[in-house]
Chains A and B, each alone.
Chain A
Amino acid sequence: MTEALEILFTASFWVAAIRIASPLIFATMGELICERAGVLNLGIEGIMTVGAFAGWFTVYSGGDLWTGVLVAALSGAAFGLLHGTLTVPLGLSQHVVGIGITLLATSLTYFTYRLALPEVTSPPKIEPFQPLPIPGLSKIPILGEALFSQTPLTYLAFLTVAIVAWVLYRTPLGLAVRAAGENPTAVEAQGISVSGIRIGAVMAGSALMAVGGAFLTMSAFNSFFFEMINGRGWICIALVVFGSWRPGKALLGAILFAAFDAYQVRLQQLTGGIVPYQIFLMMPYLLSILALVLVARRATYPKALMIPYQKGER
């Protein structure tokens, strides 16, 4: 039993937790931006798949790593534009469009993969982002190692949270985004285009989701394979709710979930086959549901979330 607790005090556990959290942080921020503007983006799972492939394939074809991240973000934004065009000016159901985007993006990715690499049986690897320890800070026991000896993409994830929080709460643009998710008529009445704000938010958010996907291929698994997103996108949707649509809280949620995940892997090794491993696989999700029940019941969601805004309708 003490061994199970000791895991919590090892640096390797926390390093893993932060690494697992990184893609979730990107994608959660992406979803959060969309929802704050009033659009539920269920395309997240597929857009992450696109990002994972686009980033990986850019590097595989000879591009450098940051070009890969940029290509991933742009492909995400392109699917965001499709999602935004269908849900905002055309006012189609955000659920249906989102699921459609997920199916389309995932299948298109697999199709492209097969076209590009018809002969391959085992997924080819790329040279991924390497850990970049921050001098000094990374020497702090446990915390320092966990936070400051990660790859640049993880640092970018944390930076993204700060930027999203700043933009949402401290800039005129963020004000318009939040207002669009709360009461689009207020935005329209102040002469700002609701469509412009919402499509922009969905594109930016989708770009972040794609970067989250790219993290998996460029900073974790080093190659692309099918089903690799494995429900992470759906978790991010729950994390946005868990975080009450606030970037800081959502960040905590992502780390918490990742910690559960890292912990269950280690517990599996500890019990050595006595308990079926599926029980452990279930654990993070069960705990997430519990956390949602405790936290999210009081959450005040953006009032115009999922409500299409059609100008001139009554």
Chain B
Amino acid sequence: MPQQPDLAASPPLSPQGRGEHGAPVLRLQNITKRFGSLTANNAISLDLAAGEIVALLGENGAGKTTLMNILFGHYVADEGSVEVFGKPLPPGDPRAALDAGVGMVHQHFTLAENMTVLENIALGTQPMWRARFDRVAARTRIRSLSSDFGLAVDPDAVVAALTVGERQRVEILKALYRNARILILDEPTAVLTPAESEALFKTLKLLVAQGLSVIFISHKMAEVMGVSDRVMVLRAGRVVGERRTSETTRAELAALMVGEEIAPPQIRDVPYGGQVLVLDGVSTAGRSSGASLDNASLTLKSGEIFGLAGVSGNGQAALSGLISGTETLRSGTIHLFGDEHRAWTTREALQLGIGRIPEDRHATGTIGDMSVAENLILESYRSPRFSRQGFLRRDAIKEFAREIIADYDVKCPSPDARVRLLSGGNMQKLILGRALDPKPKLIVANQPTRGLDVGAVAYVHRRLVEARDHGAAVLLISEDLEEILTLSDRVAVIFKGRISPSSKRGERSVRELGELMAGHGLEAAA
């Protein structure tokens, strides 16, 4: 076990000038990394100057995170070299990266939840064989870093009890505690509220003002334009462009990132059809996470997209669970295609023609360690097309998988590839293919575009509109009000398990919907 310097004893960061602007503090040269047949990084080079914020922009799967994991020593590059402050960094050694002054805030936080903030930050910073862990010095140093950089967090709180925003502050503090001079943030705003993002940007400005350098990984254009000095655009593992932020436009970056023009979804008016699903005074038993449905009513007609807005945890999970058969009814009535039902099992839901796009692609949408082909038949493996007398028909399954992969543009090495290796967007396309291919008459799409990049979002939207145009009833549940307003024919709001009366798109202003989402006036309306 190597001995660590005792960081608790060293003074907080001293402000430094930005004099060395220009001399690179970090230099990546010709980095190439392959995962099996996938080339995640292809000869990427990058220079970073002191006091500079460089944004690494690209769609999911473009190779941004892989590149940073190589820099930080989580992965070993197949080719290329990394230099920090003019010295080569040995590959595959996070400790060397930390010691050289590189700190990383991962997209999925690397915190031990059963331990306190202080323990997480000071982990590995004190000599390992010391008989006593020095909490007092660590606490003092964390407090002073917190106040210097506006990173408010209680050092003695247990991480499990913190909000996502607080956890991210802990991650940044971890890096600063180790005197990081180069900070890498991987999709830092993906999990933050707008207010938290603002606070983060303020912190970043403070950091670069003190001479630190920041690499900011993102696929959100507005942030990149707002916060960075320079932008590098990655696509399919290559650098496809590099611009000074002041000399470029959102449109130019978007085109570089996606490599093609993105057409907005074509929405044409389709006459509403008959009633597909009618919920009347429905309450649920509360098996799903978040609020149960509480006397909720809803009418869904064929040929419409019904947008249900609301802050997450207000009964969306119960509603989508009820329709896809995992949640049970406590009171109220459900009519599907005019027939009254008490409830249906998940299998019956599929037989009744309900397609589901679940909220969490990883947890309930796919099985990561199974192949693309296997995931595609999860809902239909019993059909005679895919199984006969208890045996799977492998050729038919593979043929089907190839069809879906082609039709839905799922980028994967082969139908046998493990789903875990796909990017979020491709995973979602797989789920879309599986749900939409049987031509369902009712589609529940719960947060269908969460965490996807621009190109994939546009694709999902186009497919949902297409399904509607073919007469399906689409229930679009989303926290993204902009998405709801772009796609929906009718809009309602869910709050604490109740659903507001619906209105046609454009009838209610964004402000009115926002107030409903915050719970104002819904009690009276319901």
Contacts and interface: CB of A to CB of B under 8 A. Distances in A.
Contact of B122 (A173, A175, A300, A303): A175
Interface string A175-191: 11011001101111111
A141 interface: no
Nearest to B174: A190
A310 B131 CA distance: 30
Given A173-B128, A187-B124, A191-B95, A179 B106 contact: no
Interface in A255-276: none
A178 B114 contact: yes
B112 A182 contact: yes
B515 interface: no
A107 to B, nearest CB: 34
A179 B72 CA distance: 20
Contacts of A196: 1
B391 interface: no
Contacts of A178: 112, 114-115
A212 B160 CA distance: 35
Given A178-B114, A179-B115, A191-B94, A186 B123 contact: yes
Given A172-B130, A175-B122, A314-B421, A189 B104 contact: yes
Nearest to B65: A314
A182 B74 contact: no
Contacts of B4: 191
Given A186-B111, A189-B106, A171 B133 contact: yes
B99 interface: yes
Contacts of B112: 178-179, 182-183, 186
Contacts of B92: 311-312
Contacts, number: 96
A125 interface: no
Contact of A190 (B1, B75, B125): B125
A176 to B, nearest CB: 6
B133 A175 contact: yes
Interface in A153-171: 170-171
Contacts of A189: 72, 94, 104, 106, 110, 174
Interface string B1-17: 10010000000000000
Given A172-B126, A175-B119, A314-B35, A185 B133 contact: no
Contacts of A182: 112-115
Interface in B71-107: 72, 74-76, 92, 94-95, 97-99, 104, 106
Contacts of B420: 314
Interface residues of A, number: 28
B133 A170 contact: yes
Contacts of B99: 191
Contact of B110 (A176, A188, A300, A303): A188
A188 B113 contact: no
Interface string B170-197: 0000100000000000000000000000
Contacts of A187: 123-124
Contact of B131 (A171, A176, A185, A191): A171
Contacts of B74: 188, 311-312
Interface in B103-154: 104, 106, 108, 110-115, 119-120, 122-133
A149 B92 CA distance: 55
B133 A190 contact: no
Contacts of A175: 115, 119, 122-123, 133
A98 interface: no
Interface string A289-314: 00000000000101100000001101
Given A182-B115, A183-B112, A187-B124, A192 B95 contact: yes
A155 B98 CA distance: 43
Interface string B38-78: 00000000000000000000000000000001001011100
Interface centre among A173, A175, A176, A189 (most CB of B within 10 A): A189
A75 B265 CA distance: 69
Nearest to B1: A196
A174 interface: yes
A183 B126 CA distance: 19
A193 B420 CA distance: 25
B128 A172 contact: yes
A119 B76 CA distance: 58
A183 B110 contact: yes
A173 B75 CA distance: 25
B114 A172 contact: no
A259 B92 CA distance: 52
Interface centre among B97, B112, B115, B131 (most CB of A within 10 A): B112
A79 to B, nearest CB: 21
Interface of A: 170-176, 178-179, 182-183, 185-193, 196, 200, 300, 302-303, 311-312, 314
Sorted nearest first, the 8 A-B pairs with minimum C-beta distance are A191-B95, A190-B124, A182-B112, A189-B110, A172-B126, A179-B112, A185-B110, A186-B110
28 contacts: A170-B132, A170-B133, A171-B130, A172-B122, A172-B123, A172-B126, A172-B127, A172-B129, A174-B133, A175-B119, A178-B114, A182-B112, A183-B110, A183-B111, A183-B112, A185-B110, A186-B112, A186-B120, A186-B123, A191-B94, A191-B98, A192-B123, A200-B1, A302-B114, A311-B74, A312-B76, A314-B35, A314-B420
Given A179-B115, A200-B1, A300-B114, 14 more contacts: A171-B130, A172-B123, A172-B125, A172-B126, A172-B133, A176-B124, A176-B128, A182-B115, A183-B110, A189-B94, A191-B94, A196-B1, A303-B113, A312-B76
Interface of B: 1, 4, 35, 69, 72, 74-76, 92, 94-95, 97-99, 104, 106, 108, 110-115, 119-120, 122-133, 174, 420-421
